[in-house]
Structure 1
Amino acid sequence: MARDLTLYWWGQTASTVGSLFTAVALPVVAVVHLGATPGEISLIGAAGTLPALLFGLPAGVLADRIRRPRRTLVLLDTVSALAIAAVAAGLAADVVALPWLVALALVSGSVSVVTEVVYFLHLNQVVEAGGLTRARARLQAGQFGAGLVGRLVAGPAIVAFGTATALAIDAASYLLSAGALLVMRPVAPLDRTPQTGQSSFVRNALAGARILLDNRFYRALMAMLAVPVFTGAGTGALGGIYLLHTLRIPTGVYALVGMVAGLLGLLGSTVAGRVLAPHRDARRIIVLCYLASSLCGLLYPAAGGPLPVALLLAGLGMGVPAVFGAVANVALSPVLVAETSEEALGRVTATLHVFAGGLGLLGALTGGLLGDRLGVRTALWTLAGTAAVAVLLVAPLALRAVRGAPFRPEPAASPVEETAAAQ
């Protein structure tokens, strides 16, 4: 199992490095080469979140029927590689227009919907009992570390070799991820009960929503995250134009802002394992981390001044919230496993993504609209301020929900499993 987790780590890390090349390249293409407006940039962001809204619930039902999650992940990596390679070829031929970027966002968003709901199923197959939190922290730390490498080299690589090369590297990284999955040891298929019929499908699709609404903590968590998810999508949609135009950060060093965020996110992932000690309630940690993340998000629109200062402030505005967000993300894994049965885990995860996707779609479009009407910086202040106020109001309700119900922590690993995991 330790070998398979290492292979999974390497595959995820390679994919993250490649994805950072695309994440840096696409805003450059849209803003610098295509001259996209804030409204047009927001369309790309909205296209990335739309699939979660449209396909999230069906993806959850599909995930809870999949017997071999690893094969699904290999297929998804292959689809991603082909889609990104097609846009890279279009850039090389100088025929790419804004609809190409929107289409890539749609494909990537669709793949992400299924990947996210299958992810926990596969991870549960790879790790030993009691090892989920540590494994999740290790994988996330690897992703943040890979993000540092990707951001460090992506900007100079784009300047030296062009955006088409950056996307080609991302396509290759997805193939490496698929290869890592293919060489892992076979695992037993999941035990699934066959279900047929349209009424059964619809009923199962809505089961995740029923579970979330029946769980007091899940209800409080969704209320707490509603506004930050909405405003975060708007902030993300304006990120490229804010950094490249408002702060006038050169393309070659544009990715350094993300490096600061990645470094601090890596720090959060590294300390998450210690923060999430077995005796601590992971739900309380999630609430406190999301509260701190929203408040620290006010640093981002405050960036300005000489280039080094603007880079540092923008990086801290993204990175300090990333510390708390990384811990909360790791903490969500044991909460989902403890509060949800394995048979419904895919549907609950998918429903959360639909919830976030719908708010993200509206938030991205709203961010573009505010950017066009108010200006980019004023729009960012409006979004960040709204998120901070909303979380301050709802966090006490979420903490009350935590106190109102006991938490069932992740079962500890046996001594034999601890020894095997260490080998």
Structure 2
Amino acid sequence: MTSPVAGAVAAPASRRPAVALLGAYAVSLVGSRLSMVALPLFVLLTTGSATRTGLVAMAETAPYALSTALAGPVTDRVGTRRVSIASDVASALVVGAIPLLHATGHLTFTALLVLCALAGTCRGPGDGAKYVMIPTVARAAGMPVERGIAFADGTSRAASVLGPLGAAALVGLVGAAGALTADAASFLVAAVVVAVGVPAAVAAIGPAELDADDPDAAGSYRARLASGARFVRRDGLLRSIVGMVSVTNLLDAAYGGVLLAVWATRQGGGAPLVGVVAATMSAGAVIGALTAAAVGHRLPRRATFGWGFFLVGAPRFVVLALDVPLPVVLVVLFVGGLGAGTLNPILGAVEVERIPEHLRARVLSLMGSLAFALIPFGGLVGGLLSDHLGVRTALLVCGAVYLVATTLPALRPEWRELDAGRRRAAEVPAPGSAPAPAGAR
């Protein structure tokens, strides 16, 4: 779709969809992070069983990963905006049913498992749809894709801080069941914000345009799903990104799920120390993401990516293994957070540049699911290493693997395309704009 006046400067109102989408993203993520604290507390308070608490967590996580991967072809066909709204409404109903059934005395443990599985199934497509919308609303707002993704990444990282804090406050004020009610309400708010603030014309290009570009448009769901998998398999850079992120996510889960807690216990700090350390790194990540939003589109991607992964990788594990003073630990983790904040904007912009829009939902959903797939095993890996090797050796081993996983792939030739993709994208005028005059910068 072209603008009436070629090259016209976007009106300030064009930023409304981006603000609305990021607002909905923030509300939904804060609610999700809130439930990550409130739901385990709810299960512990109502059943007194740590094993049942773990089963509930698995019941939500596995369907989330599966539904994220399988929703891509449906999102391409139905539309990102509709899937986002429908997913949030369904999530609100499912999560809201938990405190409602509890209040009426009808919540059995089997029913709780089913509801948690349904909650994970509903959340996956919605999260994926919002992420796919980010490039299009960023383009409508006249901002670089890196900036839009950086704002979304900063929102996600801030939610990781605010969600648990809000959960602690709500559980203290209204109890775990009341906190889950607030989580359900957050999904409804997100659905309304997207419905009102993100016009359908801005959310994505039209179905007719998508069908014209998609050779599998008339094919079955299975054919569309397979086309996304083929695209990832044939693109060396995207394939390498998925492999690297899968391994680092596994190690991050081992660190956050087990190793940090064991280290804090050995230091005599327990849960408060874990909270301080996690909050310090999250604060650095928020600042890093906001910095990337401001200047990330001007930085060399490959160098920024390499340094970002180095800062957030091995030093974080090594500094805990060496038992250095706490202020040094906090400085290293804060700097690591700064590096972490630069990564997702780069990866997201590269994905958007390389994936045709008619394939974007199914490819990004599949990549996200594959990157998420090893996370459930992270705690197991961290626990086994810590029990058999000791936490210090476990930290050093994980740090070494992290360094190898983020260094060796980056030396492969396809990683040179990180910056090449930006140069190609710069040569393509944005929708609704006139080509730049010859020699213009």
| TM-score normalized with structure 2 length | 0.74
Equivalence for 1:111: 122
User: Residue type matched to 2:121 in 1?
Assistant: S
Residue of structure 1 aligned with 2:352, choices 337, 344, 349: 337
Q: 1:176 to 1:281 in 2, by over 3 A?
A: same
> Are 2:73 and 1:61 equivalent residues in the alignment?
yes
Equivalence for 1:394: 408
Q: 1:388 to 1:146 in 2, by over 3 A?
A: closer
Note if contact 2:309-2:343 (Cα within 8 Å) is conserved in structure 1: yes
Q: 1:253 to 1:216 in 2, by over 3 A?
A: closer
Equivalence for 1:421: none
Q: 1:62 to 1:180 in 2, by over 3 A?
A: same
Equivalence for 1:5: 18
Residue of structure 2 aligned with 1:263, choices 249, 270, 283: 283
Q: 1:386 to 1:116 in 2, by over 3 A?
A: farther
Residue of structure 1 aligned with 2:243, choices 202, 223, 243: 223
Note if contact 2:146-2:345 (Cα within 8 Å) is conserved in structure 1: yes
Note if contact 1:56-1:353 (Cα within 8 Å) is conserved in structure 2: yes
> Are 2:153 and 1:134 equivalent residues in the alignment?
no
Distance 1:313 1:102 in 2: 43
Distance 2:236 2:243 in 1: 11
1:70 positional shift: 1.2
Equivalence for 2:7: none
Equivalence for 1:195: 217
1:69 positional shift: 1.6
Q: 1:226 to 1:69 in 2, by over 3 A?
A: closer
Equivalence for 1:353: 368
Greater Cα offset, 141-150 or 89-98: 89-98
> Are 2:89 and 1:78 equivalent residues in the alignment?
yes
Deviations 1:182-224 (A, max 9, x none): 2125333443327355xx4333322223222322322332332
Equivalence for 1:325: 340
Equivalence for 2:395: 381
Deviations 1:224-275 (A, max 9, x none): 2332222333444448975997778788997665543432221011111345
User: Unaligned 5+ residue runs, structure 2?
Assistant: 1-13, 434-441
1:315 positional shift: 7.2
Note if contact 1:281-1:407 (Cα within 8 Å) is conserved in structure 2: no
Note if contact 1:303-1:314 (Cα within 8 Å) is conserved in structure 2: no
Distance 1:98 1:253 in 2: 33
Equivalence for 2:184: 171
Deviations 1:69-127 (A, max 9, x none): 21211111112222222233456578878767755553343234313432243224423
Note if contact 1:61-1:201 (Cα within 8 Å) is conserved in structure 2: yes
User: Residue type matched to 1:266 in 2?
Assistant: V
1:384 positional shift: 3.2
Equivalence for 1:420: none
User: Residue type matched to 2:250 in 1?
Assistant: F
User: Residue type matched to 1:155 in 2?
Assistant: A
Note if contact 2:65-2:124 (Cα within 8 Å) is conserved in structure 1: no
How do residues 154-165 of structure 1 correspond to structure 2 at under 5 angstroms? Answer: 154-165=167-178
Distance 2:25 2:117 in 1: 21
1:195 is paired with a residue whose SS is coil
User: Residue type matched to 1:195 in 2?
Assistant: A
Number of aligned residue pairs: give it.
406
1:349 positional shift: 0.8
Aligned-residue Cα RMSD (Å) equals 4.2
1:3 positional shift: 1.6
User: Unaligned 5+ residue runs, structure 1?
Assistant: 418-423
Distance 1:178 1:160 in 2: 26
Note if contact 2:321-2:392 (Cα within 8 Å) is conserved in structure 1: no
Distance 1:403 1:176 in 2: 42
Greater Cα offset, 170-179 or 353-362: 353-362
Note if contact 1:131-1:413 (Cα within 8 Å) is conserved in structure 2: no
Deviations 1:17-64 (A, max 9, x none): 323322232344456775655x76665554444235534443222222
Deviations 1:268-304 (A, max 9, x none): 11111345234x4435533442333222441686599
Equivalence for 2:6: none
Greater Cα offset, 203-212 or 379-388: 379-388
Residue of structure 1 aligned with 2:305, choices 277, 280, 286: 286
1:313 positional shift: 8.6
Distance 2:396 2:110 in 1: 29
Greater Cα offset, 169-178 or 296-305: 296-305
Distance 1:221 1:111 in 2: 26
Note if contact 1:298-1:317 (Cα within 8 Å) is conserved in structure 2: no
User: Residue type matched to 1:215 in 2?
Assistant: D
User: Residue type matched to 1:10 in 2?
Assistant: G
User: Residue type matched to 2:231 in 1?
Assistant: I
Q: 1:166 to 1:405 in 2, by over 3 A?
A: closer
Residue of structure 2 aligned with 1:209, choices 209, 224, 229: 229
The structure showing larger relative contact order (alpha-carbon pairs under 8 Å, at least 6 residues apart) is 1
Note if contact 1:259-1:315 (Cα within 8 Å) is conserved in structure 2: no
Distance 2:369 2:343 in 1: 19
